[in-house]
């Protein structure tokens, strides 16, 4: 809070006052979340420094249940008077929407957390300044500009940001949670054009932690490797096979598939239709738990407790201690991501999946770090299983329908596999496949795990939540590729 | 940069916006910047009040209200540039914020830089405020209910959506003397209705005034779509004539406008690079960005650098006429600003696609083997430089054979590249609609577009 410009005790007092005022105004439940943001960002475009960006601020969001309806109001006018008015406004809004309420909102009885947590950091995030960020990006640019990575990059954009999110949460159920999340994020795009052929790669890296994140993820080397790969991709000319083959999804592909076609359709609010007009519903229904959707080898989880992860959220924004969620277990739909309201409807306890990205956003069900569980093969053994196939190491274009049944991933760095050996690159293979077919085709998984940072979009107003996606090398048997 | 309780610049008006004086805030920020000897300074303060009611399964899910004020300051000194924003708006905090920002610039490298123009303009309110929308929160549940009831009457069984009303005020002051403020109001509804099986339909209504807002029609379209999409089947993969609704066309047009930002061109992420003065679309295609336009609620009289906004022709009769510029990109391109700053990247305000002379019915009659698409989402690019993308149709989609709609379709994906798509526009409708929703950020006035040769694919199962 201090870094955002507000004293901690003052924030706590306002949050308590907001809850108290909401209850007095007629709420049967009230919560208040003071959230402060401090951020520094620096960018290079084709080696040229862009204006530095600094953001600081804080505000309060108050959510209530009144007359069975949910109301949420937020402001950054941080006075006791304003906060009181916002609390009353949340109650008034909830009651006003009661006329179109068919089903009252009721929360589950999950034990409220009373704790303070912080994502671990070695080098304090507050020490990030423009000189440090400039140096990191200059190091990267210096390694890839002027064909130093073996390819002419006609477009190079790099951004580095250091962000601190601090929050204090109070609920009328008794939750009192203080959280501190430092995060370092990198975003970049590389465009290579040679001899009439063009390739493009977007790179996102990020972890919770301090300045040490840059070294821990090996950021400079990762970007250099990506640039080198662009040179190979430009030379790829082999067309993808048209017959039925085996596919190996690298960790990046395993992760995006886990996120898009397992994590999203297993968000309980989507299953119940709450996101129907925006992010959509789900091919799964409330009675789909226990349904066999994949092979015995299909195992996908979401874990907000992974240290250093981009989606590290050990206590969620409803004051519930979060835990690992086993989404698909042995091919069976095992668990949905739940908040307190959906948990009540499903007759279970919340598994702590409610997140809000800013003080002015209501908490909604979000993934944290979604991944295919590791198997017991080595990476080499996975490839040895393939007589004829394609290895998707990275991807560019991807999308999926709003029920999460029909998805597409277009390979960027992708190789033909011939009798267990990686052969030449294959140009833009398209995996366009239904969710049951994808997860029903999983034959084996490696022990080797990698994670990628991503920003997951959901909600209205939109909330971009930091997450990890990841997994091992995943072997899919008997797949026919599509075409661009 | 700490402050005690109770000394912030503004409190809430009862039930209304935050009452901070934006001009005073800007004046304080610029005076402080001048005192520390910044070469250039821009203070841009904003105040927004937004109310929203969301619903699903014909029932309210949450009522939202957000009141916020924020100050953004741009400073330049000896070629170094920094941009900062804060919501900590007490006078002492603002003074400290600007001083700290200036001090932090010592460690910065020189950035791409163009000075602010010598004589700044004075700006006044450019219209676009409907007082009936300033405190619309009480009426939103009733308007949402009207849309839901209309959907039910048209055949929808359950509806989900969001209705939102907002007022935004932006004030500017620069060291070169640009000064003024401008406000906008808008009301938008996004409703999606569901029926038997996978059947769904979509409706939108977007307006800068309450008078122009039509929730019943949006609900009717969503309900009719849910009814009409029963028993939908997957199409054969292949090339089709595709009739894009204003909703779908706006989504794709917005990506083209993004490619027209000079920042995107420089960054290698534009399919329009190197094509100034060349044909990039069919002769019937016109695309213009407007800072201020009747019915548009995305812009204002001035941009983030204090330049006047204006109408900028991007594509004129199929020819690429210009990129969108701010002062920095204009200097680099030896051009002039188009009033589209973005302090870092130029961006569009309100887009307008020129009308054609066909009716919807005439366009359908022109189709031999085609598909009508009414909504889409998840447009993603294989390569922004080449413009290759795919998008996922959803809600109403219909197969057309020999000029007649024959059956509903589902489970497909449409793919193309931006320039081939624009060059293959065959017909445009007379009727146009304003579109802004989850998949379209920039308000866009757009007709129906009939495009030849779009690739339709389906998933391996």
Do A28 and A124 belong together in one domain?
A: yes
Provide CB contacts within 8 A for B210, sequence distance 6+.
B130, B132, B133, B136, B187
**Which residues of chain A does B239 touch, with a Cβ-Cβ cutoff of 8 Å?**
none
In the numeric block, which tokens belong to residue A120? Answer: 């671990």
Do A192 and A258 belong together in one domain?
A: no
pLDDT, averaged across chain B:
94
Mark which of A190, A216, A235 sits at the end of a domain: A235
Distance of residue A144 Cα from the nearest chain B Cα, in angstroms? 15
User: Structural domain tally of chain A?
Assistant: 2
The model's confidence at residue A2, banded by pLDDT at 50, 70 and 90, is: low
Average pLDDT, stretch B76-88?
95
DSSP-derived secondary structure letter, B105: G
CA dist A315 and A115 (Å) reads 9
Residue from A52, A67, A90, A437 to probe the interface with B (highest B Cβ count within 10 Å): A52
Average pLDDT, stretch A95-111?
94
Tell me the CATH number at A189.
3.30.2290.10
With CB atoms and an 8 Å threshold, state whether A189 touches B269.
yes
Average pLDDT, stretch A358-375?
98
In chain A, what percentage of residues exceed pLDDT 70?
Answer: 99
Mark which of A203, A235, A267 sits at the end of a domain: A235
Do A224 and A251 belong together in one domain?
A: no
In the numeric block, which tokens belong to residue A50? Answer: 């862009």
Distance of residue A469 Cα from the nearest chain B Cα, in angstroms? 18
Do A277 and A229 belong together in one domain?
A: no
**Tokens 């800072």 label which residue?**
B291
Q: Is the dihedral of CA B249, B252, B255, B257 positive or negative?
A: negative
Residue from A62, A97, A274, A481 to probe the interface with B (highest B Cβ count within 10 Å): A97
Q: Is the pLDDT of residue A40 over 70?
A: yes
* Partners of B69 in beta bridges: B47
In chain B, what percentage of residues exceed pLDDT 70?
Answer: 97
A405 inside 8 A of chain B by CB: yes
Do A81 and A211 belong together in one domain?
A: yes
3-state secondary structure of A259: helix
**Tokens 């798509």 label which residue?**
B421
Of A100, A402, A482, the CB nearest to B55: A100
Number of neighbours of residue B211 by Cβ within 10 angstroms: 9
**Which residues of chain B does A439 touch, with a Cβ-Cβ cutoff of 8 Å?**
none
CB B273 within 8 A of CB B261: no
* Partners of A202 in beta bridges: A189
pLDDT, averaged across chain A:
96
The model's confidence at residue B184, banded by pLDDT at 50, 70 and 90, is: very high
CA dist B338 and A202 (Å) reads 29
Q: Is the dihedral of CA B372, B375, B377, B383 positive or negative?
A: positive
Question: What pLDDT digit, counting tens, does each position of B216-228 carry?
Answer: 999 999 999 999 9
**Which residues of chain B does A280 touch, with a Cβ-Cβ cutoff of 8 Å?**
377, 394
At B8 the pLDDT is: 36
For helices B22-35 and B91-104, angle between their N-to-C axes, nearest 10 degrees: 40
Number of neighbours of residue A381 by Cβ within 10 angstroms: 16
Strands A463-471 vs A450-458: parallel, antiparallel or unpaired: antiparallel
3-state secondary structure of A378: coil
A280 inside 8 A of chain B by CB: yes
With CB atoms and an 8 Å threshold, state whether A410 touches B160.
no
In the numeric block, which tokens belong to residue A57? Answer: 């601020």
For the residues of A303-326, what is the DSSP string, one character each? -TT-TT-TT--SB-TTS-B---EE
Do A266 and A317 belong together in one domain?
A: yes
Question: What pLDDT digit, counting tens, does each position of A369-426 carry?
Answer: 999 999 999 999 999 999 999 999 999 999 999 999 999 999 999 999 999 999 999 9
CA dist A34 and A342 (Å) reads 24
If residue A371 lies in a helix (H) or strand (E), which one and from where to where?
A: strand A369-372
Q: Is the pLDDT of residue B185 over 60?
A: yes
Calculate the dihedral angle through the C-alpha atoms of B290, B292, B295, B297, rounding to the nearest 10 degrees.
100
Average pLDDT, stretch A29-39?
97
With CB atoms and an 8 Å threshold, state whether B2 touches A2.
yes
Do A212 and A249 belong together in one domain?
A: no
CA dist A77 and B141 (Å) reads 26
Mark which of A235, A269, A304 sits at the end of a domain: A235
Number of neighbours of residue A243 by Cβ within 10 angstroms: 7
In-domain check, residue A240: no
CA dist B286 and B206 (Å) reads 22
Do A324 and A253 belong together in one domain?
A: yes
Average pLDDT, stretch A444-464?
97
DSSP-derived secondary structure letter, B47: E
Question: What pLDDT digit, counting tens, does each position of A248-274 carry?
Answer: 999 999 999 999 999 999 999 999 999
The model's confidence at residue A318, banded by pLDDT at 50, 70 and 90, is: very high
Do A73 and A214 belong together in one domain?
A: yes
CA dist A480 and A449 (Å) reads 26
Do A78 and A213 belong together in one domain?
A: yes
pTM greater than the 0.90 cutoff: yes
At B14 the pLDDT is: 38
For the residues of B284-337, what is the DSSP string, one character each? T--EEEESS-TT--S--SB-TTSPBP-EEEEEETTEE---B--HHHHHHTTS--
Average pLDDT, stretch B97-114?
90
Among A160, A337, A149, which residue's Cα sits nearest to residue A234?
A149
The model's confidence at residue A484, banded by pLDDT at 50, 70 and 90, is: confident
ipTM of model: 0.96
Do A224 and A78 belong together in one domain?
A: yes
Q: Is the pLDDT of residue A130 over 80?
A: yes
The model's confidence at residue A127, banded by pLDDT at 50, 70 and 90, is: very high
CA dist A285 and A272 (Å) reads 7
At A6 the pLDDT is: 67
CA dist B216 and A157 (Å) reads 46
CA dist A329 and A453 (Å) reads 24
CA dist A462 and A356 (Å) reads 10
Do A181 and A260 belong together in one domain?
A: no
In the numeric block, which tokens belong to residue B334? Answer: 């030896």
Strands A474-479 vs A388-392: parallel, antiparallel or unpaired: unpaired
CB A160 within 8 A of CB A184: yes
Tell which wins on pLDDT, A241 or A197. Answer: A241
**Which residues of chain A does B107 touch, with a Cβ-Cβ cutoff of 8 Å?**
129-131, 134
Helices (H), A74-145: 80-96, 130-144
CA dist A44 and A134 (Å) reads 8
Helices (H), B122-229: 140-154, 215-228
In the numeric block, which tokens belong to residue B142? Answer: 């009733």
CB B317 within 8 A of CB B286: yes
CA dist B140 and B63 (Å) reads 9
* Partners of B74 in beta bridges: B42, B83
In the numeric block, which tokens belong to residue A426? Answer: 């294959």
Q: Which CATH superfamily is domain B22-219 in?
A: PmbA/TldD superfamily (3.30.2290.10)
In-domain check, residue A308: yes
Q: Which domain holds residue A24?
A: 8-235
Domain ranges of chain B: 22-219, 232-461
């Amino acid at each position: 809070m201090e870094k955002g410009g507000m004293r901690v005790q003052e924030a706590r007092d306002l949050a308590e006052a907001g809850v108290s005022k909401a209850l007095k105004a007629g709420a049967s439940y009230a919560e208040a979340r003071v959230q402060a943001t401090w951020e520094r960002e620096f960018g290079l475009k084709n080696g040229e420094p862009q204006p530095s960006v600094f953001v600081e601020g804080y505000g309060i969001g108050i959510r209530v249940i009144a007359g069975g309806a949910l109301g949420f109001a937020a402001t950054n006018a941080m006075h006791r008077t304003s906060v009181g008015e916002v609390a009353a406004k949340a109650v008034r809004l909830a009651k006003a929407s009661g006329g179109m309420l068919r089903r009252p909102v009721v929360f589950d009885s999950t034990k409220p957390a009373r704790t303070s947590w912080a994502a671990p950091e070695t080098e304090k995030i507050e020490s990030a300044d423009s000189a440090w960020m400039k140096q990191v990006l200059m190091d990267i640019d210096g390694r890839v500009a002027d064909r130093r990575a073996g390819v002419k990059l006609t477009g190079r954009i790099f951004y580095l940001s250091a962000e601190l999110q601090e929050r204090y949460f109070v609920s009328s159920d008794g939750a009192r949670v203080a959280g501190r999340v430092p995060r370092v994020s990198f975003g970049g795009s590389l465009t290579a054009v040679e001899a009439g052929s063009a390739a493009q790669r977007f790179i996102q890296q990020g972890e919770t932690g301090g300045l040490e994140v840059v070294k821990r993820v090996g950021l400079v080397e990762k970007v250099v490797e990506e640039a080198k790969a662009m040179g190979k991709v430009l030379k790829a000319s082999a067309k993808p096979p048209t017959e039925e083959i085996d596919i190996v999804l690298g960790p990046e592909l395993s992760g995006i598939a886990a996120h898009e076609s397992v994590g999203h359709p297993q968000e309980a609010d989507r299953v119940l239709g709450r996101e129907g007009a925006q992010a959509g519903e789900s091919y799964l229904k409330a009675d789909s738990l226990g349904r066999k959707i994949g092979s015995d080898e299909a195992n996908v989880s979401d874990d907000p407790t992974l240290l250093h992860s981009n989606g590290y959220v050990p206590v969620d924004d409803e004051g519930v201690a979060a835990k690992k969620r086993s989404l698909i277990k042995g091919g069976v739909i095992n668990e949905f991501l739940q908040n307190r309201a959906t948990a009540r409807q499903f007759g279970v306890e919340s598994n702590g999946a409610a997140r809000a990205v800013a003080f002015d956003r209501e908490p909604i069900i979000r993934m944290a770090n979604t991944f295919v569980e590791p198997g017991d093969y080595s990476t080499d053994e996975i490839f040895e299983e393939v007589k004829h196939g394609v290895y998707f190491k990275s991807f560019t274009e991807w999308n999926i329908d709003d029920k999460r049944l029909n998805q597409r991933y277009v390979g960027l760095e992708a190789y033909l596999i011939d009798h267990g050996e990686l052969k030449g690159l294959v140009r833009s293979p398209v995996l366009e496949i239904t969710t049951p077919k994808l997860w029903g085709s999983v034959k084996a998984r490696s022990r080797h795990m990698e994670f990628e940072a991503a920003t997951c979009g959901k909600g209205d107003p939109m909330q971009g939540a930091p997450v990890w996606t990841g997994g091992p090398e995943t072997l899919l048997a008997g797949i026919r590729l599509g075409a661009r | 940069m700490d402050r005690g309780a109770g000394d912030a610049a503004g409190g809430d008006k009862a039930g209304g916006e935050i009452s901070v004086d934006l001009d005073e805030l800007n004046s304080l920020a610029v005076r402080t910047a001048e005192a520390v000897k910044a070469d250039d300074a821009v203070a841009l303060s904003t105040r927004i009040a937004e109310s929203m009611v969301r619903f699903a399964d014909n029932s309210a899910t949450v009522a939202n209200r957000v009141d916020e004020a924020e100050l953004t300051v741009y400073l330049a000194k000896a070629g170094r540039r920094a941009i900062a924003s804060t919501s900590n708006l007490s006078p002492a905090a603002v003074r400290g914020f600007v001083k700290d920002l200036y001090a932090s610039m010592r460690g910065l490298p020189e950035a791409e830089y163009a000075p602010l123009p010598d004589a700044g303009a004075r700006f006044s309110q450019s219209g676009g405020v409907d007082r009936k929308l300033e405190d619309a929160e009480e009426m939103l549940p009733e308007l949402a209910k009207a849309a839901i009831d209309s959907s039910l009457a048209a055949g929808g069984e359950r509806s989900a959506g969001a209705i939102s009303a907002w007022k935004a005020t932006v004030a500017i002051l620069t060291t070169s003397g640009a000064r003024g403020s401008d406000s906008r109001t808008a009301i938008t509804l996004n409703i999606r209705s569901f029926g038997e099986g996978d059947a769904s339909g979509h409706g939108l209504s977007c307006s800068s005034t309450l008078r122009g807002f039509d929730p019943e029609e949006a609900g009717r379209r969503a309900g009719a779509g849910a009814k009409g999409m029963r028993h939908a089947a997957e199409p054969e993969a292949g090339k089709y004539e595709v009739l894009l609704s204003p909703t779908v066309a706006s989504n794709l047009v917005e990506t083209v406008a993004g490619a027209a930002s000079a920042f995107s061109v420089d960054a290698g992420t534009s399919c329009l690079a190197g094509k100034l003065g060349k044909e990039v679309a069919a002769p019937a295609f016109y695309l213009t960005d407007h800072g201020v336009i009747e019915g548009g609620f995305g812009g204002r009289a001035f941009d983030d650098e204090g330049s006047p906004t204006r109408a900028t022709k991007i594509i004129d009769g199929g020819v690429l006429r210009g990129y969108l510029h701010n002062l920095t990109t204009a200097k680099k391109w030896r051009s002039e600003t188009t009033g589209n700053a973005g302090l870092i990247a130029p961006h569009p305000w309100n887009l307008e696609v020129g009308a054609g002379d066909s009716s919807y019915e005439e366009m359908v009659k022109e189709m031999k083997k085609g598909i009508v698409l009414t909504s889409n989402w998840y447009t993603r690019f294989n390569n922004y430089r080449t413009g290759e993308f795919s998008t996922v149709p959803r809600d109403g989609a219909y197969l057309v054979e020999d000029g007649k709609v024959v059956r509903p379709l589902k489970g497909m994906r449409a793919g193309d590249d931006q320039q081939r798509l624009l060059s293959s526009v065959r017909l445009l409708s007379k009727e146009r609609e304003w579109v802004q929703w989850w998949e379209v950020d920039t308000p866009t006035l757009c007709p129906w577009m009939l495009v030849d040769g779009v690739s339709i694919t389906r998933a391996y199962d």
